[in-house]
Amino acid sequence: MNSLNNLVLGFRSSSLVLNLPQWMLSRHLHYIHPVRKLEIPVKYPEIEFPEKRKLRFMEKVPQPVPGQRPMKMKKQLIDMRGPELTHTFLLHRQYGIRALQGGQLHHGHFEMIRTGINRNMDENRMFAIWRIDAPWKPITRKGQGHRMGGGKGSIDHYTTPVREGRVIMEFGGYCEFHEAYDLLIRVARKLPFRADVISQEILDEEKKLEKEEPHRNLNPFSFEYCVRNNIGGCRKWLSPYDYIWHGKYR
């Protein structure tokens, strides 16, 4: 009896009993419960948790320099234009929220992200960290009905500019992608610009497709080719940024 084992394959109408050797049972067949579907638990790799697992509170106003007035700045729309070149990867190689276009985040958006993540995550097995700075860029505004002139207005609030491809926050722990997606997509849809939920597998696949795309393209008339050869006199109406980004970022 030690070399034989009874394997019951459960069906709604009948059951089939097979008497097979133990080595064949362990290597080729699996037990199927007649009512429940038994799944093998996921084995997670060794994950390094940060010291504080929840998103920290972001200051609404940056700390002033002693003895100096708060500095005003120009609009500098270049801070939101073009691709992000530095913070485009995941530190913990799990999940996160990525910006799909440029924009600005003020203190209200930071609080929306923080409360939406911290209230719904399981702190015992999950964590979240910021990948952007607290609001630092001053935005000025004049009072309603104020006449033109009189110099630059007073500082109204502070924002954080974000470029396309910037990772806004990371999420990870002992969880799968479908658990993180349901939580992060609700936050991503409330941002003032388009954003999506990413994982390390998605980033790896995008890099692979980006390398293969030039070799699979059969059309020789690309945007870069047309600009370089001035086809149709396109250089008359092109923006200086089109020479750098080839029409990808507006």
Q: What is the pLDDT of residues 34-59, one digit of tens each?
A: 666 667 777 887 888 999 999 999 99
For the stretch 208-230, pLDDT in tens is: 999 998 888 888 888 989 999 99
Binned at pLDDT 50, 70 and 90, residue 162 comes out as very high
Instruction: Tell me the per-residue pLDDT of 71-108, one tens digit each, with 9 for 90 and over.
Output: 999 999 999 999 999 999 999 999 999 999 999 999 99
3-class SS string, the chain: CCCEEEEEEECCCCEEEEEEEHHHHHHHCCCECCCCCCCCCCCCCCCCCCCCCCCCCCCCCCCCCCCCCCCCCCCCHHHCCCECCCCCCCCCCCEEEEECCCEEEEHHHHHHHHHHHHCCCCCCCEEEEECCCCCCEEEEECCCCCCCCCCCCEEEEEEEEECECCEEEEEEECCCHHHHHHHHHHHHCCCCCCEEEEEHHHHHHHHHHHHHHHHHCCCCCCHHHHHHHCHHHHHHCCCCCHHHHCCCCC
Is the predicted pLDDT of residue 30 greater than 60, yes or no?
no
The whole-angstrom separation of Cα 54 and Cα 51 is 9
**What is the chain's mean pLDDT, rounded?**
86
More confident residue, 33 or 5: 33
Which is more confident, 38 or 187?
A: 187
